[in-house]
Structures are given as C-alpha cells and as structure tokens.
Amino acid sequence: MAVITLTTDFGTRDTYVAEMKAAILSIARDVHIVDITHEVAPHDVLEGALALEAAAPRFPTATIHVAVVDPGVGTARRGLAVASGDQVFIGPDNGLFTPFLSSAGWRAFELRAEQFRAVAVSRTFHGRDVFAPVAAHVARGLELGRLGPAVTDPVLLAWPRVRVTAGRVGGAVLHVDRFGNLVTSIEGDMVASLGSGVAVRVRGRVLPLVRTYGELARGSAGGLVGSRNRLEIAVNAGSAATMLRARRGTAVVVSRTSSPAARKRR
C-alpha cells in the first residue's frame, strides 16, 4: 500500500486538509495517508522545510510527501515533483524541498500535465486541485517524467550557515518548538567534534551541554543534541525561548571551555 504524507500550514479548524484527502482518495483509495503536521506557522516556508527534514527520512521507501506552505499560490511559481533518495516530494517550488536538494542524484519535474490535476483548478487552493491529485496518480504508478519538463534550477532557501573555527562552532536558532526548545542550525556531529568540556552561549548566558532534559535541574537551561540530531537549547519543565528571550535567528555558539593541551595536563 502506498504511503502519502501531508505537511501544511492549514491548521485543522477548516476543511482544507479533508478536501486534500478527498482529492487523493477519489483517485487512489488504496493508500495510507499520514499527517506529518498542519500546524506550520502560516506562510513559513523554512519551518515547513524543517518539518519535512525531520520527518520524511523516517518513512518507508517510495513514500510520497505532499507539502503545501504556499504564499505564492496562483502566481507564476512552479509546482514540482522531486525524487530524492528513495522518496518523492510534491508541492510548490518555493524552497520547501531545500533539505532534499543538497545531495547528488535528485530529479525534479514541473507539474504541467493538466490530465493529472482537477478539472477545475482554484487559483487559491493548489493543494487540493494540483498537488493532491498528482500524489494520487504517482501512488498508482505514474512516472514523474510524465508530469512535465525536467527542472534543474529549483528554488533553494538561504539555509542558515554554520561557522566552524578551531574549538568553536557558531550557528543560530532555526525553530522554536511547542515546548519552547530552541532548535539550532548546529548539527550533532559538529558538537561531538569539539570533544568534552564544552559550553553553549546564548544571549550572554553560558549554559552546560547535557545528554538529556532530566540532567538539568527543574527550571534550568542547557544545551543537548536532540532527536533531529541538532543542538537544542532547553529548559527543564520550562521554555528556553521565554527564559532567554530568543527566537529564530538568535546567535548560538558552542565552544571548548579549555584547550585540548590544557585538558591533557590535568
């Protein structure tokens, strides 16, 4: 059974998500539809890309991911189908698929073939009338090349850069989750490369690096490598975003507290 996931900024109050599912099931009934999230902040393409980056690799081979965070709906922006690794991504060409366009071997196609979309296409709801029907046809075995011409220049987000120097890694907050944890651009292996004796600096505060939330005293802040393999700043039973007055873009630095030579002499 084919798996189709949905990631949107639609929320669940309105009927938009149900209408997308109806469009899929009217074409392909024998599919398993999984909601990744519909709570991406409205129009926040970067947050949608991060949600896909975290969740998509956990799904089985050949999963089809429909993602709709689409402030440019109805404009000249392209619709895309992207094959990357062993999965397929369908949605607007606005940078949403940036995490899956960095490795070699991806292929992308513009969604031009009208026979694989709704008969009447709303200018404001391509999720229902374009992307969902395309996903259903792909689930039934449609080759991506039949959707339209190949695309070699998909839109890429300006992914936050990480600065690495001797004994120091500098990055920034990418996302604040619902617990107030600060998910950063610094990956876990970058932290590990610094060895032991590491501290995290955020907005003038020096914080310890720990392994679990429970290693922090209640109400205390610290850094740890979270489930997304990114450095996070967390407060045990509290919000790091509130305590540190931090948000997306806030600078974060991880550095050794002493040099390797000094540690050897001890």
Contact at 8 Å (CB) between 56 and 165? Answer: no
Tell me which fold the domain 2-146 belongs to: Rossmann fold (3.40.50)
pLDDT digits (tens, 9 = 90+) for 147-202: 999 999 999 999 888 999 889 999 999 999 999 999 999 999 999 999 989 999 99
Average pLDDT of the residues in 33-55: 97
Q: Whole-angstrom Cα distance, residue 212 to residue 204? A: 23
- 50 secondary structure, DSSP code: H
Mean pLDDT of the chain: 95
Contact at 8 Å (CB) between 24 and 132? Answer: yes
Average pLDDT of the residues in 12-16: 97
Q: Which of 258, 198, 173 is nearest to 211 (CA)?
A: 198
Q: Which of 189, 175, 221 is nearest to 54 (CA)?
A: 175
Q: Whole-angstrom Cα distance, residue 206 to residue 255? A: 10
Whether the pLDDT of residue 8 is over 80: the answer is yes
Instruction: Kindly list the domain boundaries of the chain, sorted by start residue.
Output: 2-146, 163-265
Top-level CATH class of 163-265?
mainly beta
What does the pLDDT read at residue 159? 81
Residue 257: pLDDT band (50, 70, 90) is confident
What does the pLDDT read at residue 265? 46
122 forms beta bridges with none
pLDDT digits (tens, 9 = 90+) for 118-146: 999 999 999 999 999 999 999 999 999 99
What are the φ/ψ torsions at residue 18 (nearest 5 degrees)? -60, -40
Q: Which of 44, 59, 134 is nearest to 100 (CA)?
A: 59
Contact at 8 Å (CB) between 52 and 97? Answer: yes
Whether the pLDDT of residue 258 is over 80: the answer is no
What does the pLDDT read at residue 259? 54
